[in-house]
Copies of this chain bind each other. A is one copy, B any other.
Amino acid sequence: MSHTLGIRQAQKQKTRQALMDAALVLLEEQSLSSLGLREVTRAVGVAPTAFYRHFRSTADLGVALVEEALGSLHPMIRTTVTADGTSEERIARAVELIAGHVTAYPAPVRFIARERHGGVQPVREAIRDQLARFAEEVKTELAKDAEAEGWSDDDLLMLSHLYVDQMLVTASLFLEALESSPQERERVALLAARQMRLISIGRRHWLD
């Protein structure tokens, strides 16, 4: 189904990606609402007007960045929640997964954390939609579990949102600890694991 792009389309996509990459770097030290279009094109080395060939505005760029940052994460989420083993093993694996992802891709993670409540409405909405999709997917996975017996749909969705929010809290903790000592990062990992453990315990006794 994949169609080989012409030289032209390929070059265009390359420039587009360069703009997005440059933006992500610039956004490590500022918010999207203060990111200038000229700033981005200057970093890439193209004329300011070239920007308009790819994005209507920086807000538009931001929405594209949201897709890039979260779009590819859905399969990862699914397998993480599904993963078998004891509750304790699953927690450890989830925390490791988050830590690894934050270490490997700090810029996109920072961008999402920053713009989730940021000053650009379309971007906030794009993030909210993606996170809602995550919650829905987590919910369908949770529903398969034996522990979900007797749970109402609303309760399952409530728990899913709690998990998704907790993942973001953990990710931003790791983000803050990125430049810290390994001991500090280990402390964060233990804290995150304990919080997840408490939520798991709450889940186990929910129907009591």
Binding site for B on A (CB under 8 A): 27, 29-34, 110, 113-114, 116-119, 128, 154-155, 158-159, 161-162, 165, 169, 172, 176, 191, 194-195, 198-206, 208
Identical copies of this chain, number? 2
With a CB–CB cut-off of 8 A, which chain B residues contact A194?
Answer: 154-155, 158
Cα(A30)–Cα(B161), bound, Å: 26
With a CB–CB cut-off of 8 A, which chain B residues contact A155?
Answer: 194
Cα(A116)–Cα(B115), bound, Å: 11
A142 to chain B, nearest CB (A): 13
A113 to chain B, nearest CB (A): 4
With a CB–CB cut-off of 8 A, which chain B residues contact A162?
Answer: 195, 198
Residue from B119, B159, B199 in contact with A31 in the complex, judged by beta carbons closer than 8 Å: B119
